[in-house]
Structure 1
Amino acid sequence: MQRTYLALLGLTAAAAAPTAWAASVFSSQPLDQARFAVLAQPVGRSDWKLLVLEQIKPEPLCWEKRSDGLVDPSLNRFDFSGICSRYLDSNGYSLRVGNEDLASRYRLRLEQQGNSVALLAMTPSQPTELLVGRGSLRQRDRNAFVAIDLEPGWSLERRAYGSQTLSHVYFANGTPLSQLIAKANRSGADRTPATAAAPMKPLKPLPPQPGSGPIALQVIPYKP
């Protein structure tokens, strides 16, 4: 009876502080950044979807940069099982700041700002958004993605449980969260109309391609 009570007490404590529990359970391991691409996929007329691609084997290439600066998701043209891995939503990626797992508090979103696409981390309890990355938007093409470059201090890391690595990627920053929020607030206060994002210029449309359509993204389980 006493053992059952203590077990229930432990579960109650974990439920009361899920973020602290996650931070104590999960750690992270560094990754080779060159093996990953952080991309913004156009959805509809103005929305964007965040995805991360990983090159597991050297060939064939999972993505290729086009001459116009956009990224071609070439993995859609072959069976990429065991060659490429994709992280499509919050099940595949989340935020880790100052060695704290923030998956239960923060979410990542893409926002078009002028002629760029910003990757932001946000939470309902904090009005300040954190700038995680940004990509240059030269034109909008439904068959190509915008490459997102992470801001200084940010990198991709692998979630780990003890000595076991998991199929989950962190957008990680070692700086404590309070310092990142303070820095973001200072950056916002320093912005003036002259330095704010310029109004979006008309994007150069591409001619329609025969048989073009949305790119199907089949979910493939991660295999290390």
Structure 2
Amino acid sequence: MRRTYFRSLILAAVLCGTAGWLPAAQSARGLFDSKALQQNRFAVLAQPVGQRNWKLLVLEQIKQRPRCWTLRSDGLVDPTLNTFNFAGICSRYLDSNGYSLRSGGEDLGSRFRLSLRQSGNNLQLQALNPRQGAPIVVGRVTIPKRDRNGFVQIRLDPAWRLERRVYKGRTLSHVYFAHPDPVNRLLARAEQGSDSGFSRLGAPTAPMAPRRNQRVASNGQPIQLEVIPYRP
């Protein structure tokens, strides 16, 4: 009886110690799960702030009527939920408390920040990690025009989906921007597609072998030089 008791204590100590050795990514992966959502119930919007900045906003249509947002003829979106009491009809997700990144089944909210970046008339939803290189592009849109009262709807890139956070079988309100591939693969693709200075230079080429007794003129044509024999 005593031997069985001590054996149980040793086994428990080993299991506790092993749990402490688990990597943080594996712990985060096991803490939260996710489930699929109906994508047409959501709108991923960019709200103009000031002259150049943007704020990310996700709207959810819980009940069919009244509509939480409407598409305008100029391509912008009106957040019509501001015109009525939308409790129980619409949901808003305004910051990292309401949405985050998920990749390959791993919760990345503590490592990556979602941000909107504009270049010309193009607007991208990017996932940024200060310790990583190129940002991961989650969605994009061409801006029809800038109107302080009109939002721009972001279209997610292929394979990106909105999912709901689940904790121990319980569905939470938190929304994921989720991709099935692991984050390292997404980062590798982002690095390959980044427009760095080296990539603009193109692939290196071997230098041309010099030709004897020739000089290259300004038009690129070789000039034959006269060879004067040496006389001591």
Tell whether the 8 Å contact from 1:18 to 1:104 is kept in structure 2 after alignment: no
TM-score (ref. length: structure 1) = 0.77
CA distance in 1, matches of 2:182, 2:29: 13
In structure 2, the partner of 1:116 is 122
Tell whether the 8 Å contact from 2:134 to 2:194 is kept in structure 1 after alignment: no
> How many residues of Structure 1 are paired with residues of Structure 2 in the alignment?
189
Tell whether the 8 Å contact from 1:111 to 1:117 is kept in structure 2 after alignment: yes
1:82 pairs, out of 61, 77, 88, with 88
Are 1:186 and 2:192 counterparts?
Answer: yes
In structure 2, the partner of 1:57 is 63
* Structure number, greater radius of gyration: 2
In structure 2, the partner of 1:92 is 98
TM-superposed CA distance for 1:22, in Å, is: 2.2
Segments of 5+ residues of structure 2 without an aligned counterpart are 1-8, 202-232
TM-score (ref. length: structure 2) = 0.75
In structure 2, the partner of 1:28 is 34
TM-superposed CA distance for 1:153, in Å, is: 1.1
Deviation beyond 6 Å, 4+ runs, structure 1:
13-16
Tell whether the 8 Å contact from 1:136 to 1:147 is kept in structure 2 after alignment: no
Tell whether the 8 Å contact from 2:77 to 2:151 is kept in structure 1 after alignment: yes
In structure 2, the partner of 1:172 is 178
CA distance in 1, matches of 2:21, 2:97: 20
Partner SS state of residue 135, structure 2:
strand
Question: Which structure is higher in RCO with an 8 Å CA cutoff and minimum separation 6?
Answer: 1
Amino acid aligned to 1:36: F
- Aligned pair in 2 of structure 1 residues 75, 23: CA closer, same or farther (>3 Å)? same
Amino acid aligned to 2:186: L
In structure 2, the partner of 1:210 is none
Amino acid aligned to 1:41: Q
Partner SS state of residue 22, structure 1:
helix
TM-superposed CA distance for 1:16, in Å, is: 8.8
TM-superposed CA distance for 1:36, in Å, is: 0.1
CA distance in 1, matches of 2:174, 2:20: 21
Tell whether the 8 Å contact from 1:19 to 1:104 is kept in structure 2 after alignment: no
Render the CA deviation track for 1:138-158: whole Å, top value 9, x for unaligned: 211111100000000101000
Segments of 5+ residues of structure 1 without an aligned counterpart are 194-224
TM-superposed CA distance for 1:40, in Å, is: 0.3
TM-superposed CA distance for 1:136, in Å, is: 1.7
Q: Percent identity?
A: 56
Render the CA deviation track for 1:179-219: whole Å, top value 9, x for unaligned: 111111222259759xxxxxxxxxxxxxxxxxxxxxxxxxx
In structure 2, the partner of 1:126 is 132
Tell whether the 8 Å contact from 1:29 to 1:160 is kept in structure 2 after alignment: yes
